């Protein structure tokens, strides 16, 4: 920022994660020194980029009104080459209804709510299975909860997997669930969009902004396990809705590419250069 000002070169800051909003993932304020640096940089930047309106609101104390919204691109290059039915056979999914979660096992992710919702789905659908990809400090608690809810035989804890394997699960599953307390722009949603996977999310943070209800998936109230269960069941049972969401997500992946993001960045830089003092 300092060199940009001295050289009269426009500068842009990019707030991409939760810490760029001044808080940790757990919602605690960042140390004063970090917040000072963010405010110093934000006030000297000619523009700031954020990924959602939610993040624009949170970064306002640091960048003022100079924030512009630019969502992440969707990378279809990681889409598995194998057809979906082959992947389902390879992963042992068969004809089961596969609910997928890809998340760190931390309180923020509300996996206990997802497990409670899954128990309701499993009571109604004998073919339902929950696949949990990830790991973290809540693993033992979640394992115990699955046993307490009497769904341990229907829940698979896969641990941490290579990205290519995660994408195979994405392409083969029936629905992805992400019911966090708070999210900026989680990459897992774009990964789901890239393979057309319908999603169920909570209405917290940026999630309801990224996922348009009944277009890219379904949105359920935060911490409402019954509503989450109903949304998951609806995706699994409503063939017309599921097909529409799949096509919408694939269309989004075809249009919001990283080339599209690059074009938006180029236009912003050109605009700032035109405004540069002579």
Q: Are 110 and 26 in contact (CB under 8 A)?
A: no
Q: Of 57-61, 134-138, 186-190, 236-240, give the lowest mean pLDDT range.
A: 57-61
Q: What is the mean pLDDT of residues 79-84?
A: 93
Burial of 134 (0-12, 13-18, 19+ CB in 10 A): buried
If asked whether residues 179 and 99 sit together in one domain, one would say: yes
State how far the Cα of 2 lies from the Cα of 15, in Å rounded to an integer: 19
| Average pLDDT over all residues of the chain | 90
- Determine the structural domain holding residue 57 and report its residue range: 2-73+257-274
Position of tokens 């930047």? 45
If asked whether residues 188 and 103 sit together in one domain, one would say: yes
Q: What is the mean pLDDT of residues 248-275?
A: 94
pLDDT on residue 236: 97
Q: Are 194 and 253 in contact (CB under 8 A)?
A: yes
| Residue 25 reports pLDDT greater than 50 | yes
* CATH number assigned to the domain comprising residue 186: 3.40.50.2000
Domain count, the chain: 2
Helix (H) or strand (E) holding 253: helix 239-255
| Residue 31 reports pLDDT greater than 80 | no
If asked whether residues 158 and 261 sit together in one domain, one would say: no
């Amino acid at each position: 920022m300092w060199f940009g000002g001295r050289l009269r070169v426009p500068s842009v800051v990019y707030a991409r994660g939760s810490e760029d909003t001044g808080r940790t993932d757990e919602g605690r304020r960042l140390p004063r020194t970090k917040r000072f640096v963010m405010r110093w940089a934000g006030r000297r930047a000619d523009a700031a980029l954020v990924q959602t309106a939610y993040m624009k609101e949170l970064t306002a104390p640091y960048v003022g009104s100079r924030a512009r919204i630019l969502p992440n691109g969707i990378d279809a290059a990681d889409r598995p080459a194998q057809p979906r039915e082959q992947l389902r056979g390879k992963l042992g999914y068969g004809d089961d209804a596969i609910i997928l979660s890809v998340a760190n096992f931390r309180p923020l992710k509300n996996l206990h709510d997802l497990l409670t919702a899954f128990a309701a789905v499993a009571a109604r659908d004998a073919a339902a299975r929950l696949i949990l990809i990830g790991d973290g400090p809540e693993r033992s608690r979640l394992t115990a909860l699955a046993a307490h809810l009497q769904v341990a035989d229907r829940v698979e804890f896969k641990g941490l997997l290579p990205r290519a394997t995660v994408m195979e699960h994405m392409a083969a599953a029936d629905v992805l669930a992400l019911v966090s307390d708070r999210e900026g722009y989680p990459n897992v949603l774009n990964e789901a969009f890239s393979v057309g996977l319908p999603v169920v999310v909570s209405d917290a943070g940026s999630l309801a902004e990224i996922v348009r209800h009944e277009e890219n998936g379904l949105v359920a109230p935060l911490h409402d396990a019954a509503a989450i269960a109903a949304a998951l069941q609806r995706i699994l049972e409503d063939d017309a809705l599921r097909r529409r969401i799949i096509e919408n997500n694939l269309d989004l992946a075809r249009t919001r590419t990283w080339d599209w993001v690059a074009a938006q960045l180029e236009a912003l830089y050109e605009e700032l250069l035109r405004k540069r003092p002579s």
